[in-house]
Amino acid sequence: MEHMTSAPLLAARNISKRFGGVQALDDVTLEVRAGDVHCLAGENGCGKSTLIKMMSGAETPDAGTIDIAGTTHDRMSPAEALRAGVQVIYQDFSLFPNLTVAENIALAPLIAHKRKLVKPAALRRRAAEVVAELGVDLDLDARVEDLTVADRQLTAICRALAEQARVIFMDEPTTALTQREVRALFRVVATLRERGVAMVFVSHKLDEVLEISQHVTVMRNGRVVASGPVEEFDRASLGRAMTGRDVRDTRDVPEFDASASPVLRVEGLGLDDAFEDVSFDLRPGEVLGITGLLGSGRTEIAEALFGVVPAQRGRVEVDGAQVRIRDVSDAVAAGIGYVPSDRLTQGLFLDQSIADNVVAGSLDLHRARLGLLDRARLRTTISTFFAALRIKAASVDAPIRSLSGGNQQRVVLAKWLARDPRVLILNSPTVGVDVGSKEEILDILRREAARGKGIVVISDDVPELVSVCHRVLVVHQGRIRAAIDGAQVTEQEILAGLAA
């Protein structure tokens, strides 16, 4: 292909950036060619999102230059970035929820072209053009707030195209998508490539990186440690470049006593329009996986057990005693903990420190007899989890907002581990977490199970389920369709269960 030999469309050269004591970027150079998908890979906190912010003008580099289409900039303002054709699809997509799809796609660019009064028909026509150009199926008149995550993302991509994007940055675009939605996104990416748009794609899913990209750059601790055509990488070498060591991904489930009485017993759980007849036992030391496509009811089951949206029917026992779970406090009192999947909207106070967030979930456990906070014990708890989960931050007093995405996810986990519940339910515990740390988090789950907890992992990451679960339930349309046990727990069996 001819663009392979042409000059890069975008080149960030020798970019450095420091935040207080953290050297987030250290002499980073990145070259992106028109029509290429360039994957940016690396462990949590290595500087991927920070590098993107330099290109979009959201942050200013301490040193280095940014060349776009032949013009060199020492820094980008957001307006310059936009003019140069740089578009970032943020995780929240920055859309106007109460406007329609068509308005979100075409309003800003039309106004920018000095048409003060935009006729609705013209706007709709422009939006329809862009949607057709990308070959996506979007209802132009729907309000964005009523769309699925995947359709919001497509709307944001269409808007980027309407804004004459030449380079589109996507920071972990597939984390909240189902398999089918990922396929749809990849088709859109292929169309954009044909149009000569360059894309920079951040993902922690190695298979995805290898499939979608033409070029890969791996960062570690703010530096580029490897960069080259995708053909030069495979799963193992990519994992090694990211972590500096070999990443194992084999099945490793700790022993547990299958004859012990269950720590959690669920019988005939049901909730209208969500799930029905859900029954299972969980023994101390057991790790149970629950999988299913998005919309299968898997998350609703977890949320019912945690009292977020309680079940209407059925019976739940913890350690042999029946418990009524009408709200979250019932679940917590019964000894059930829940790590939600969406770190951005659930479970964290972004402006508070790591320490405050970890402790928020277990304050009552740290009150001394007289009702005073046991500060020493508190401090020990926090530093234990800070170290065990290798949370990358200046200190436990750093605000959550300053942490990288994957490190925020670890704080959610720390918060629940600190509470030490009998039953821990985790929804997609390693979403957004890098491959090396993923193994560490799974090791922590193994250890917690070995200590006698019952663990439920809700996940659609099949290798992860195989790696850590004794048993996997496949949920389909709100019902348990398959139960895969012991040696049967393999990728093939789970995929067959999902497809059946």
Ligand X SMILES: Nc1ncnc2c1ncn2[C@@H]1O[C@H](COP(=O)(O)OP(=O)(O)OP(=O)(O)O)[C@@H](O)[C@H]1O
Residues that bind Mg ion (CB under 5 A): 49, 404-405
Complex with ligand X: residue 129 or 440, whichever CB lies closer = 440
CB of 441 to ligand X, least distance (A): 13
Q: Is residue 22 near ligand X by the rule CB under 6 A?
A: yes
Give me the 47-76 binding string for ligand X, x by CB under 6 A, dash otherwise: xxxx--------------------------
With CB under 5 to 8 Å by kind, the binding choice for 381 among Mg ion, ligand X, none is none
Q: Is residue 392 near ligand X by the rule CB under 6 A?
A: yes
With CB under 5 to 8 Å by kind, the binding choice for 198 among ligand X, Mg ion, none is none
Nearest alpha-carbon partner for 15 in 77, 80, 76, 70: 76
CB of 488 to ligand X, least distance (A): 34
Residue 214 is encoded by which pair of tokens? Answer: 């033409």
CB of 48 to Mg ion, least distance (A): 5
Q: Is residue 239 near ligand X by the rule CB under 6 A?
A: no
Total residues binding ligand X (CB under 6 A): 20
Q: Is residue 488 near ligand X by the rule CB under 6 A?
A: no
* Residues 6+ positions from 92 with CB-CB distance below 8 Å: 344
CA angle 465–471–472, rounded 5-degree value: 55
Complex with Mg ion: residue 90 or 256, whichever CB lies closer = 90
* Residue span binding ligand X (CB under 6 A) among the ranges 15-23, 144-152, 444-452, 456-464: 15-23
Complex with Mg ion: residue 49 or 100, whichever CB lies closer = 49
With CB under 5 to 8 Å by kind, the binding choice for 82 among ligand X, Mg ion, none is none
Q: Is residue 467 near ligand X by the rule CB under 6 A?
A: no
Complex with ligand X: residue 315 or 390, whichever CB lies closer = 390
Q: Is residue 24 near ligand X by the rule CB under 6 A?
A: yes
Nearest alpha-carbon partner for 171 in 353, 3, 44: 44
Q: Is residue 173 near ligand X by the rule CB under 6 A?
A: no
* Residues 6+ positions from 394 with CB-CB distance below 8 Å: 20, 21, 22
CB of 91 to Mg ion, least distance (A): 9
Q: How many angstroms separate the CA atoms of 278 and 314, rounded?
A: 8
Complex with ligand X: residue 22 or 417, whichever CB lies closer = 22
Give me the 401-420 binding string for ligand X, x by CB under 6 A, dash otherwise: -xxxxxx-------------
Residue 299 is encoded by which pair of tokens? Answer: 């998350």
Tell me which residue has its CB nearest to Mg ion: 49
Q: Is residue 217 near ligand X by the rule CB under 6 A?
A: no
CB of 55 to ligand X, least distance (A): 12
CB of 270 to ligand X, least distance (A): 38
With CB under 5 to 8 Å by kind, the binding choice for 64 among ligand X, Mg ion, none is none
Complex with ligand X: residue 49 or 362, whichever CB lies closer = 49
Give me the 327-366 binding string for ligand X, x by CB under 6 A, dash otherwise: ----------------------------------------
* Residue span binding ligand X (CB under 6 A) among the ranges 20-28, 240-248, 273-281, 319-327: 20-28
Residue 35 is encoded by which pair of tokens? Answer: 């029509």
With CB under 5 to 8 Å by kind, the binding choice for 19 among Mg ion, ligand X, none is ligand X
Per CB under 6 A, residues contacting ligand X are: 19-20, 22, 24, 42, 44-50, 392-393, 402-407
